[in-house]
Copies of this chain bind each other. A is one copy, B any other.
C-alpha cells in the first residue's frame, strides 16, 4: 500500500507538505494541493486514520450510546443522527449498553481514549464523576447530568399533558402508564408526572407500571399486556412507548375490547411502529429528525471548540389523532 512518502515523491514535494494537505491546512498553494491529490489518486493512497488521529487528535467519529439499538426511539434517532453526522463529514459509532451498567462503564472508558471526537448519551446510569471528568465533548438526550453538559430533549411536560387530554376526552376511568425505570433522573419522567397529575386532577385513577430496559422484548410485552389486562379488567386506557403500546393494543383487541370505545391506547414517540397496526394509534410524536439535527449541531460546536450557548435545548412535540384514543 502506498505511503505518505510515495505520495510526496510522486508529487515532488516534502512529506510535511502532504501532511498539511491531509490535515486541511490552508498553507499550501492550490496548484501544489492539486498535484498532491492527483498523486494520492494515482497511487490509491489511503491515509492511516490512526496516525492522522494522533496528529490531529481527531478521528472523525462520534459515538452514540443507547440502552437498545432495537428500541424504536433510539433506533430511529440514531438513523437521523447518522445521516446528519454524515452531512458534516463525521461517522457514527452506535453502541448499546443493553440496559447494563457494567457495559456502560466499559464503553465510557473506551470513549475516553482518543478513538472518538465526541459522545452522545442516551443513557447515563453511572456515578456523576464519570461524566463530569470525561474531558471530551459530551451531550445527552433526555438526561440532565449537570448544568454544563448540554441536553437536547423534546417537551415532555406538554407531551404528558397532551396524552392525558386524550384519555380525559374519551371519558376513561382507570389508566396505566408504562415507565422505563432508570436509577438516574431522566427528563422523560416529567412526561409521566404531568400525565398522572393531569389525570388525577380530572378524577381519573392512574397507575404506573415500571419496566427495566433489558427486561422485555416485544413478546415479553405481549405477555405483560395479557396478564395485566386479564387481572385488571377495570383498566380502560394505557400510555406507553410505541412498542409496548402495540402489545397492549393487540392484547385488548384480541380480548374483545372495543377500541377506543372501551379501551384507549396512546403511543408515546410516534415512530412508524404506531402506524403498523390495522388501527392507526393515537400518538404523541417526538421530532426525531429535528432532535438529531440539533444534537449534531451542538456536539460539533463543542468539538470545534466553540462556546455553546444554552445547554438545554427543548423541541416541541406534536399530538397525532389516531383511532385508538
Give A residues with C-beta under 8 Å from B: 1, 46-51, 53-54, 59-61, 68-70, 75-76, 78-79, 82-83, 86, 91-96, 98, 103, 107, 109-110, 112-115, 135, 217-219, 222, 243, 246, 249-250, 253-254, 272-273, 275-279
A112 and B46 within 8 A (CB) = yes
Chain B contacts of A278 at CB under 8 A?
249-250, 253-254, 277-279
Asked if B53 contacts A276 (CB within 8 A), the reply is: no
B50 x A54 contact (CB < 8 A): yes
Nearest neighbor of A94 in chain B, beta-carbon distance: B94
CA distance A61 to B111 in the complex (A): 12
Q: Are B61 and A69 in contact (CB under 8 A)?
A: no
Q: Could you list some 14 contacts between A and B, CB below 8 A?
A: A49-B113, A49-B114, A50-B59, A50-B115, A69-B69, A69-B94, A82-B96, A86-B98, A94-B94, A217-B272, A218-B275, A219-B272, A243-B272, A250-B278
Complex CA–CA separation, A180 to B219 (angstroms): 28
> Which residues of the other chain, B, contact A70 by a CB distance below 8 angstroms?
75-76, 79
**Among B76, B79, B86, B103, contact of A103 (Cβ-Cβ < 8 Å):** B86
Number of copies: 2
Bound: A314/B222 CA distance, A: 31
Contact of A51 among B54, B68, B112 (CB under 8 A): B54
CB of A281, distance to nearest CB on chain B (Å): 11
CB of A174, distance to nearest CB on chain B (Å): 23
Q: In the bound complex, do residue A276 and residue B69 qualify as a contact, i.e. CB atoms below 8 Å apart?
A: no
Q: What B residues does A98 contact at CB under 8 A?
A: 83, 86
- Measured CB to CB, the nearest residue on chain B to A280 is B250
How far does the alpha carbon of A86 sit from the alpha carbon of B61 in the complex, in Å?
A: 19
How far apart are the CA atoms of A217 and B277 in the complex, in Å? 16
Residues from chain B with Cβ under 8 Å of A222 in the complex: 275
Q: Which residues of chain B have C-beta atoms less than 8 A from A47's C-beta?
A: 113
New contact pairs (7) apart from A69-B75, A75-B75, A91-B95, CB-CB < 8 Å: A46-B112, A69-B82, A91-B93, A219-B272, A276-B276, A277-B277, A278-B278
- Beta-carbon nearest neighbor of A103 in chain B: B86
Chain B residues with CB below 8 A from A92, complex form: 93-95
Chain B residues near A48 (CB-CB < 8 A): 113-114
Instruction: Point out the residues of chain B lying under 8 angstroms from A69, CB to CB.
Output: 69, 75, 78-79, 82, 94
- Closest approach, in angstroms, between the C-beta of A19 and any C-beta of chain B? 15
Q: Considering the complex of A and B, which 3 residue pairs feature the smallest CB-CB distances, nearest first?
A: A49-B113, A218-B272, A93-B93
